[in-house]
Amino acid sequence: MKCILAFISASLVACVATSPAKGRKTCTVKASGTNQTDDAPAIKSAFKECGRHGKVVFKPTTYYVNSILNITDLEDVDIDVQGKLLWSTDISYWLNHSLPVGYQNQSTAFVLGGNNVRLNGHGVGTLDGNGDYWYQWIKKQPNTSNYPGRPHQITFNGLKNSVVTGVNFLRSQMWTMSIIHSADNTFEDIFINNTGNVVSSSNTDGADTIYCDNIRFHNWTVYNGDDSISFKANSTNIRLTDSKFFGGLGIAIGSIGQLKDVTETVENISAENVYFENTLHAFYVKTWTDDQNGYPPNGGGGGLGYAENMNLKNLTTSGLRGAAFSISQCTRFSGAPGQGNCTNSQFQLRDISIDGLKGTTKTDRVASLQCSAVAPCTDIELENVDLVFANGTESTSYLCGNVVDAKGWNCTGPVCESGSATGEC
């Protein structure tokens, strides 16, 4: 075994132990043991040494991450996370140094990318964003959602042919996981808890896909305060199976259509065997209006494109807080007028099927579908629906506007038309 010493400004930062293991070089990251010392340099050194055809090991201890991590160009590497990576609470640092994600002016604390990456947390490996500090801080700001520089916990950028399994994500600073420009990956046995210990969390999505193809999510458990999981621009061939969502908004498509005159698509989305407890929706879609008001992340509109071939099966609910299935094509932020055109979006939604939707709800709205008059929703199918209140009374309301070719259901009344970021009025 040899020891590779990493120096910055002539000061000893970390020691990375390297040794051959079954022909594969292994780097075990040495933790400093104190939050006064940044372990990010040691982590970067380990990946530099063993990030191609090697193995990087995090021991069962705490690693203090006090600065950004940008780890890309990995190739055929095992990442063994047995301990915890804990992000610092220096909000000022992160606001000024977080890395661009490449979409909606979002940013991140950690970028990880490469080909044939195998990240395994064995059910114990944890990334902890120290989000309680962020949730309390953001409540005091005029912009409590997409605050500039507020980072995602991790962004998988350019990740290909890879597997991420058995990892816990706790109290993410904002979105937990953004996945962008990535393909042919599996994310399985993932646990996320962004529940605030002091105040409720906001905009703490479980995961968001952007410009992604052939991604599988399996056996996810998510406790959070926003989208349980969201498939955004140019997400294609995405499959979600055997997962449980608590307290958030449910499965989301979008928001989308935010960039004026830019065409985006969402195609071939499937979800099966998913449980929702105390979520706002089971499945909802949100697009921006055709009127541009401001710029991303907190403004926009006027986007083009479509979302099609979305199929969901065997959805079970407990205590839904809103319509089980919802569409709002009236997303608008950033000082948009209180009254605006909610039916002028050029982004079209079509070929949506839900087969098997059962459980309990707190509202009589099975569906609330506010679609565009310019590009109506077409081929919306609902079958095998059995939603009831806690007392056993059936939920029977299907509200709709600008829906063509409904299958298996009938509209029972007009839908509310009003600006929304959460799927319905």
153/316 Cα distance (integer angstroms):
29
54/222 Cα distance (integer angstroms):
31
Sole residue written with tokens 């993932």: 190
Q: Which amino acid is at 117?
A: V
Report the DSSP pairing between strands 107-108 and 99-100: antiparallel
415/306 Cα distance (integer angstroms):
21
312/324 Cα distance (integer angstroms):
12
- 3-state class (DSSP) for residue 40: helix
Name residues whose C-beta falls within 8 Å of residue 89's C-beta, 6 or more positions apart in sequence. 130, 133
Beta bridge partners of 271: 240, 312
- Dihedral angle at the C-alpha atoms of 171, 174, 176, 180, nearest 10 degrees? -170
DSSP string computed for 407-422: ES----EEPP----SS
Residue 166's CB: how many other CB atoms inside 10 A? 18
Cβ-in-10-Å burial (0-12, 13-18, 19+) of 388 comes to middle
Sole residue written with tokens 């996981």: 177
Whether residue 291 lies in the annotated active site: no
Q: Which amino acid is at 392?
A: G
13/5 Cα distance (integer angstroms):
8
Give which of 157, 153, 147 is closest to 101, Cα–Cα: 157
Cβ-in-10-Å burial (0-12, 13-18, 19+) of 183 comes to middle
Sole residue written with tokens 């077409």: 378
Report the DSSP pairing between strands 177-193 and 154-165: parallel
Catalytic entry in 39, 78, 189, 226: 226
Sole residue written with tokens 């944890």: 126
425/12 Cα distance (integer angstroms):
57
Give which of 105, 203, 209, 120 is closest to 157, Cα–Cα: 209
Answer whether the bond into residue 20 is a cis peptide, omega within 30°.
Answer: no
Active site residues: 226
